[in-house]
Amino acid sequence: MSIASLKVDLVKKILETKNTAVINHIKAVFDNDSSDWYDELPTKIKKSVDKGLMESANGEGRSHATVMKNYSKWLKK
Could you state, in chain order, the average pLDDT of each consecutive group of 10 residues for the chain (77 residues)? 91 95 92 81 94 91 88 78
Q: Kindly report the pTM of this predicted structure.
A: 0.44
Give the amino acid at 26.
I
pLDDT at 12: 95
Q: Which of 59, 75, 57 is nearest to 67 (CA)?
A: 75
Question: Looking at residue 77, what is its pLDDT?
Answer: 60
Q: How far apart are CA 14 and CA 25, in angstroms?
A: 11
The total number of residues shown for the chain amounts to 77
Residue 37, H or E segment: none
Q: What is the pLDDT of residue 34?
A: 73
Q: What is the pLDDT of residue 32?
A: 82
CA distance 38 to 52: 14
pLDDT of residue 35: 75
